[in-house]
Amino acid sequence: MIIPKSKEEIELMRESALVVSKTLGMLAKEVKPGVTTLYLDKLADEFIRDHNAVPGFLGLYDFPNTLCMSPNEQVVHGIPNDIPLKEGEIISIDCGAVKNEYYGDHAYTFPIGEIAPEVKKLLEVTKESLYIGIREFKVGNRVGDVGYAIQQFCETQGYGVVRELVGHGIGKTMHEDPEMPNFGRRGRGKKFVEGMTVAIEPMINLGTKRIEHLADGWTILTKDRMPSAHFEHNVAIINGKPEILSTFAYIYESLGISSDEEDEFREKELVL
Ligand code: MG
Ligand code: MG
């Protein structure tokens, strides 16, 4: 059952989303060679609690940590550990927080120092596919329109689009209806309605779309062990159109990057 939110509820969800956005912005300064994902997890846990929220993933379905940390060939749901990050690697950081009973949940894949050109391109294409998908999340469209747009954009460039893991509705629970696959057929699936709130999250592989599960019961990795990227935003339909509740602006601020990719999805100016 899709649970549309009121304008007031969407504003609360924006607050939750921004706790995650700020956490990722804080982490952006810390992601560097020699740092362990367990250390970053501890920083995030403290940061979220300092912002009057609680970690959204910790304990959810018994997940043991605050962040999902998925380096290189790991797609999603990697568990933080004490292995230091290395120059040339990538790390997908997925973060959740609960504030005022509402969940925020989004993700960014960071390069660690200089990375190979084909991996850099994978990150760029995956992030661009996120915005291409978001553009289709509007009244009059259906779930398949978002999935189709992401799939076409990525597959025509030779990338693997993961099938087993999907985006989702989000609200007072982390995973609400509908499922939001990153593949699909135009005009198919559930209809989008005013006030819907979802997490759109392409998981795109440099090689095969096929995945495997690690024996830890959590980690998903590519079958061919080639790198995978993951970018996620929380998006609401307001006045029929997509509005991004989360932002990568805090990450860009930390990294000294400027970007206009979110501008078309924002009514009000974002105050950092
Ligand atoms: Mg997520
Ligand atoms: Mg999600």
Burial zone of 137 (CB within 10 Å; 0-12 exposed, 13-18 middle, 19+ buried): buried
Question: Does residue 114 surpass a pLDDT of 80?
Answer: yes
- How far away, in angstroms, is 254 Cα from ligand 2 center? 23
Centre of ligand 2 from the C-alpha of residue 232, in Å: 7
Distance of CA 230 from the midpoint of ligand 1 (Å):
9
How does the average pLDDT of the chain come out, rounded?
97
Q: What is the distance in A from the centroid of ligand 2 to the CA of 171?
A: 11
Q: How far is the CA of 93 from the centre of ligand 1 (A)?
A: 8
Q: Is the pLDDT of residue 268 over 90?
A: no
pLDDT of 6 reads 98
Ligand nearest to the Cα of 107, by number: 1
Report whether 193 contacts 164 (CB < 8 A). Answer: no
pLDDT tens digits, one per residue of 83-97: 999 999 999 999 999
CB within 8 A of 74, min separation 6: which ones? 92, 219, 220, 221, 228
For the CA of 57, the nearest ligand: 1
- pLDDT confidence of residue 123: 98
Average pLDDT (89-118) is: 98
Ion ligand 2, residues whose Cβ is below 5 A away: 105, 199
Predicted confidence (pLDDT) per residue in 24-62, tens digit: 999 999 999 999 999 999 999 999 999 999 999 999 999
237 pLDDT higher than 90: yes
Ligand nearest to the CA of 96: 1
User: Relative to the alpha carbon of 63, which ligand is closest?
Assistant: 1
pLDDT for residue 272: 82
Q: Which ligand neighbours the alpha carbon of 68 most closely? A: 1
How far is Cα 181 from Cα 200, in angstroms, rounded to an integer?
8
As a whole-number percent, the residues of the chain with pLDDT over 90 amount to 97
**pTM above 0.95?**
yes
Q: State in Å: Cα 28 to ligand 1 middle.
A: 17
Determine the topology of domain 7-265 in CATH: Creatine Amidinohydrolase (3.90.230)
Per-domain residue ranges for the chain? 7-265
Q: Which ligand is nearest to the CA of 179?
A: 2
Task: Specify the DSSP element, H or E, that contains 169.
Answer: strand 167-169
Q: Which pLDDT score, from 0 to 100, does residue 267 have?
A: 77
Across residues 6-25, what is the average pLDDT? 98
Per-residue confidence (pLDDT) for residue 82, from 0 to 100: 98
Cα(259) to ligand 2 centroid in Å equals 23
Cα of 84 from ligand 2 centre, angstroms: 26
CA of 188 to the centre of ligand 1 (A): 24
Query: Can you give the pLDDT at residue 266?
Result: 87
Rounded mean pLDDT of 207-225? 97
98, pLDDT greater than 90:
yes
Q: Is the pLDDT of residue 269 over 80?
A: no
d(CA 27, CA 29): 5
pLDDT band with cut points at 50, 70 and 90 for residue 184: very high
Contact (Cβ atoms closer than 8 angstroms) between residue 235 and residue 44: no
Q: How much distance in Å is there from the Cα of 236 to the middle of ligand 2? A: 14
Return d(Cα 179, Cα 190) in angstroms, integer.
9
Percent of the chain past pLDDT 70, that is, above it, reads 100
